[in-house]
Amino acid sequence: MSRVRLTLTALGTAFALPALAGAHVPPTKTTTPALTGTWRSAPEPTPLSSPFDESVWGKNAKATRTVVMTITASGGATLTVTRKILDANGREIKSRDIDRAR
């Protein structure tokens, strides 16, 4: 994933979460179950095919990103973005890079 796309995604999320928090409805028995829980995105692979990427990570490597959002019954939320680099065989070759927002 390109840095620009990642930055735009992070900025969009940063502006969306306070708006959602401002629109918070006090938990009731009818609304709490619908709002609480965990959402997990499918891993989003991005090929690393530039000459520089191939020289660093090897041919056919790819970056993957997974987003997890957890909303608690008290109204708190955590957004976690996990990025990692996989080689051509699908093995992780770079430690995970994890960003959290609460």
Token duo for residue 93: 């070759």
Query: Among residues 38, 37, 43, which one has the least CA distance to residue 66?
Result: 43
How confident is the model at residue 52, as a pLDDT?
93
Beta strands in 1-102 (DSSP E): 37-40, 44-47, 62-71, 77-86, 92-101
**Which residue carries 């660093």 as its tokens?**
56
64, 48 Cβ separation under 8 angstroms: no
Q: Tell me the CB-side half-sphere exposure of residue 64, using CA atoms within 13 A.
A: 18
How confident is the model at residue 19, as a pLDDT?
52
How confident is the model at residue 66, as a pLDDT?
92
pLDDT tens digits, one per residue of 61-102: 999 999 999 988 887 889 999 999 998 888 988 767 787 887
